[in-house]
Amino acid sequence: MDQYSHHHSDSPEMLSLMGYTLAREAGQFRKGIELCLKAIALNPQNIEHYLHLGRIYLLANKKDYAIKTFRKGIKIRKDARILEELRFLGIRRPPPVASLSRNHVVNKVTGKILHALT
- Closest to 49 in 3D by CA, of 83, 20, 21, 85: 20
pLDDT digits (tens, 9 = 90+) for 39-62: 999 999 999 999 999 999 999 999
CATH number attached to the domain at 3-92: 1.25.40.10
Q: Is the pTM of this model over 0.75?
A: no
pLDDT of res. 49: 97
For residue 6, what is the DSSP state? H
Would the pLDDT of 5 be above 90? no
CA distances from 5 to 2, 14, 33, 67, 91 (A): 5, 11, 22, 34, 40
Cβ count within 10 A of residue 107:
18
**Considering the chain, what is the average pLDDT of its residues?**
88
